């Protein structure tokens, strides 16, 4: 009898609704198994059956807000009573990081990994992670997430502009806004109107 293992990663999780062609110039955020992303730009991310999956998230170029939790698991030493968990789970408060993603760039998380359960417990109240570019440059640091400051709606992909339209005139910008409005969800339209009339 043989046991076949399953791969512990999914190719790429898209973080927006709409145009699949937007993935062609998306940035990538690579997450290790200890990091579980819960929201991107206000959109709730899918929970997978296994918590410790290393996943890649496709991000639209521009400002992105990523909410995540850091979680470590430590085996219990000694006798485990019937029905009692065999592990200690130590989890951070939800963290948020905001950064400007560049098209085609790959980003990752950097954080101090505890050597013991006691060290993990001591570090959790002050836990913070950095987002680093493929060149190893830190682009943002996380902080404890305040839900009242979250982005209100997921972003709609902006139609790609051709080189000749890059020098946008007022009319061209208006046409782009109309195109985006037509593809926006009701929630995105409401969020835009709240912003426009504040």
Q: Which of 12-26, 91-105, 115-129 has the lowest mean pLDDT?
A: 12-26
Give residue 48's pLDDT.
Answer: 62
pLDDT at 17 over 60: yes
pLDDT band at 193 (very low <50, low <70, confident <90, very high): confident
pLDDT band at 167 (very low <50, low <70, confident <90, very high): very low
pLDDT at 161 over 50: no
Question: Which 3 state secondary structure label does DSSP give 97?
Answer: strand
Residue 182 has, within 13 A of its CA and on its CB side, a CA count of: 8
**Region at 62 (left for phi over 0; alpha for psi -120 to 50; beta for the rest):** left
Give residue 150's pLDDT.
Answer: 60
Tokens of 102: 């560049």
Tell me the backbone φ, ψ of residue 173, rounded to 5 degrees: -60, -40
| Cβ proximity of 27 and 58 under 8 Å | yes
Alpha helices by DSSP H, the chain: 117-123, 170-183, 186-196
């Amino acid at each position: 009898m043989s046991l076949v293992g399953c791969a512990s990663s999914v190719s790429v999780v898209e973080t927006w609704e709409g145009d699949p062609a937007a993935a062609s110039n998306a940035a990538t955020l690579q997450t290790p198994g200890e990091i579980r992303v819960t929201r991107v730009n206000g959109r709730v991310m899918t929970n997978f059956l296994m918590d410790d999956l290393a996943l890649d998230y496709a991000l639209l170029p521009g400002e992105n807000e990523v909410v995540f939790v850091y979680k470590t698991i430590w085996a219990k030493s000694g006798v485990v009573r019937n029905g009692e968990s065999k592990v200690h789970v130590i989890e951070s408060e939800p963290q948020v990081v905001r950064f400007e993603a560049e098209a085609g760039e790959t980003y990752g998380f950097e954080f101090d990994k505890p050597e013991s359960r006691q060290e993990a417990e001591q570090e959790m109240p002050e836990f913070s992670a950095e987002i680093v570019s493929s060149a190893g440059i830190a682009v943002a640091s996380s902080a404890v997430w305040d839900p009242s400051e979250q982005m209100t709606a997921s972003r709609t992909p902006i139609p790609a502009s051709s080189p000749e339209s890059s020098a946008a005139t007022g009319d061209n910008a208006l046409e782009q806004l109309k195109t985006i409005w037509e593809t926006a969800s009701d929630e995105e339209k409401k969020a835009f109107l709240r912003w426009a009339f504040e």
